[in-house]
Amino acid sequence: MADPVIPADLLDLLQRVDTPTVCNAIEVAQGKRGFDAYTKGTMQCSAPGQSMVGFARTAKIAGREPPTEDPDVIRARRLDYFRNMAEGPRPAIAVLEDVDFPNCVSAWWGEVHTNVHKGLGLNGALTNGVMRDLGDLAEGFPVVAGSIGPSHAFVHVRELGTPVTVFGMTVKQGDLVHADQHGGLVIPPEVIPDLKAAIEAMWAGEKIILGPAKEPDFDLDKLLAAWRAFEKART
């Protein structure tokens, strides 16, 4: 089976817009409210203002307690982890679930791993776990994490390529993910052909309100008139 492809114009747009914009545009494309494949809760972001988009490469980690498996097994699985991250369609994002959540202590994401994953061709990382080395992370490789902490503790890989859960959002390997300082979401495959047009339509609708709202003579009457036009444009 051929790798999935994001149209170049859509990819360029997704790299420039924030995640709330994509959330709203998905509902425009679906023609209804209720899209809920997004993270729920406040997350930490290493690079506010930078968006990342890509096909998920998934794994589960842990680290509060030492692993009980043979060290050779742990070592082999970590190498398999890197093989998994290096494979698959691009662009790609690492999406990791720390199974110790909500009591995560193991910073998988720091200076070394962000540079390694960037070198393997990934665009960033989304995790419910911990990041560290702020200020020394790989440039152009944003990390959206559950927390910030100083130690790697006993961190080790538990699973590769399996579905993961990050702040209430389930991600399967190969899902198309968008994330930024607000959190992350999974883009439904069926909206991809319409997503660029949906973003542009949403922007046009917002201008109906935002234009008058930014004028110095804006008042309630102008709001009501603009809101009627806005509602009409949405139907």
Tell me the DSSP string of 49-118: T--EEEEEEEEEEE-SS---S-HHHHHHHHHHHHHHHHSSSSSEEEEEEETTTTS---EEESHHHHHHHH
The answer on whether 18 is annotated among ligand-binding residues is no
Q: Hey, what are 169's tokens?
A: 């959002």
Q: Hey, what are 159's tokens?
A: 């699973």
Q: Hey, what are 110's tokens?
A: 């720091």
Q: Distance (Å, rounded) from C-alpha 60 to C-alpha 49?
A: 27
Beta strands in the chain (DSSP E): 44-45, 52-62, 92-98, 107-109, 125-127, 130-131, 143-145, 147-148, 156-160, 164-166, 169-171, 176-180, 183-187
The answer on whether 228 is annotated among ligand-binding residues is no
Binding-site positions for substrate read 132
Binding-site positions for Mg(2+) read 133
Binding-site positions read 132-133
